[in-house]
Structure 1
């Protein structure tokens, strides 16, 4: 991956993460635990029991690793798009099929990096009053001790089923919306990038939420909650016990979080790339 893609991805990812992490914590708890009656109940319980610090649990580890994940996503997408259509993401006329395929490829590549990181994040976020893990390193140690290297990829299949198609959907509405809001022959402005990034995030999470719920439960499996044997078992048990609505737990939060987080992420990324690689005049 180009070094500049890594730097831009690292900074933009950290900015987006800081904006959305508190809502992400609430979303994870709603999906993985059935003790909460809704968003406001979860927020109130978290604040009462843990204070503001409770909303930022598990944040340190993703901040340290988000540069790697974002560089893989943006770098693999840009290079795949160029390979398929000879168009860079900052210009050209790549087809919708090429954009979707390049996005799916970036989703597949990042799963191998993201799965262990996301597992640790979810385990740390899922802690309430009982602190089983003292931090990211201790969490990784416990997971390796209990499940070996394979344990770090618990929920990996659900993550792949969520991310591969959804990253295709992530970049497609972004490119289409950005192009629609930009006059021909001009560079996209701040408003176009913010709107395109926000819309891309909301569209993506609308499709990703059902599998995201399954992923969260599989990742918390064996960590003090119900144990699931796999994706289908988790889906079957969740459907039987809580009905079809269970697959849309966290959808409202995901949508509320997705717009500002992805708007800020794309704006930061595009702004940094303009600084690092100014467009030719």
Structure 2
């Protein structure tokens, strides 16, 4: 790859950190809605978490994503931009021209596949930490101690923190256990990144009247927010399946795989279960993605400016 650049990796890392800080509270709400029971709606879920666990409940499991999602987004943006440049070079397209939709689509799909390698273990640990004290209805009671065979009960925390969670999964489920739900994540992220980068690319272009000028901060914020809301909203069905597969195993095992999870969820809760959390996903997607893209673009601009000033 002749024009490989590291700037996108650095800027993506900073953008990822900002997105976690902005989006984690609603991410916790989303996970509880998708996996838990008895909340009814988003507002009731927020009130329940606050009453039972105070403000700290919204930030459960954030330390691990804060560090790891920074690395994850570093890979996402680095792979996306460098793949896009590589495809453009192979097609002999000028860098001065607007990005071609084929370039953006292929780069988005490649990013979706590669991102699962890092994102799946990160999401797994995050979901386990968010859900470990969740009241829930057990699935296979034969896997539970006799004293716990009640319709609904509250568990004590199973993990002391992200490192303990990681070690517990490796010890109990092996290395493959870290990729529980990876299949559902691929089905979520490959189309999800297409609906993330394509709208962002063309919204930025549309909001910037002068094509040769860089998009303004407000344009980046709006384009990033809208693309995030679109991507997360449409990804909700597979996000529900992924979250359930990853939460499975904290206290019991209910699902054999993606298909089994889809069928069990549908038979027990109907078609609407796959849209559980869609509101909070779309709402959370806007500020989280807006913060990510804005931090990314500003960081990239600052890095390039520093390079120009330091070059002799």
TM class by shorter-chain length?
over 0.9
Work out which of the residue numbers 183, 198, 202 in structure 2 matches 1:172.
198
Aligned length: 279
* Gap change, CA 1:233 and 1:46, over 3 Å in 2: same
- CA apart distance, 1:33: 1.4
Work out which of the residue numbers 83, 104, 108 in structure 2 matches 1:99.
104
Match status 1:246 vs 2:235? no
Aligned equivalents of 2:28 and 2:127: distance in 1?
8
Match status 1:30 vs 2:56? no
SS at match of 2:174: helix
Is the Cα contact below 8 Å between 1:6 and 1:67 reproduced in 2? no
The worse-fitting range, judged by mean Cα deviation, of 253-262 and 2-11 is 2-11
TM-score (norm 2): 0.85
TM-score (norm 1): 0.95
Segments of 5+ residues of structure 2 without an aligned counterpart are 134-154
Which residue does the alignment assign to 1:108? Answer: 113
- CA apart distance, 1:127: 2.3
Match status 1:45 vs 2:72? no
Aligned equivalents of 2:6 and 2:223: distance in 1?
25
Is the Cα contact below 8 Å between 1:159 and 1:212 reproduced in 2? yes
Match status 1:140 vs 2:166? yes
Is the Cα contact below 8 Å between 1:7 and 1:67 reproduced in 2? no
Aligned equivalents of 1:258 and 1:160: distance in 2?
19
Q: Larger C-alpha radius of gyration, 1 or 2? A: 2
* Gap change, CA 1:216 and 1:55, over 3 Å in 2: same
Match status 1:261 vs 2:292? no
Which residue does the alignment assign to 2:64? Answer: 61
1:27-60 Cα shifts (integer Å, max 9, x gaps): 0011011232111221122111111110000100
Runs of 4+ in 1 over 6 A off after TM superposition: none
Which residues in structure 2 correspond to 1:191-202 (within 5 Å)?
191-202=218-229
Work out which of the residue numbers 103, 121, 125 in structure 2 matches 1:120.
125
Segments of 5+ residues of structure 1 without an aligned counterpart are none
1:3-38 Cα shifts (integer Å, max 9, x gaps): 432321121111111011000000001101123211
The worse-fitting range, judged by mean Cα deviation, of 77-86 and 53-62 is 77-86
Aligned equivalents of 2:252 and 2:41: distance in 1?
19
Which residue does the alignment assign to 2:251? Answer: 224
Is the Cα contact below 8 Å between 2:6 and 2:78 reproduced in 1? no
Aligned equivalents of 1:22 and 1:110: distance in 2?
23
Aligned equivalents of 1:274 and 1:261: distance in 2?
20
Is the Cα contact below 8 Å between 1:62 and 1:121 reproduced in 2? yes
Aligned equivalents of 2:243 and 2:160: distance in 1?
20
Which residue does the alignment assign to 2:186? Answer: 160
- CA apart distance, 1:2: 4.1
Is the Cα contact below 8 Å between 1:115 and 1:156 reproduced in 2? yes
Aligned equivalents of 1:219 and 1:101: distance in 2?
28
Is the Cα contact below 8 Å between 1:217 and 1:234 reproduced in 2? yes
Aligned equivalents of 1:32 and 1:40: distance in 2?
16
Aligned equivalents of 2:47 and 2:131: distance in 1?
15
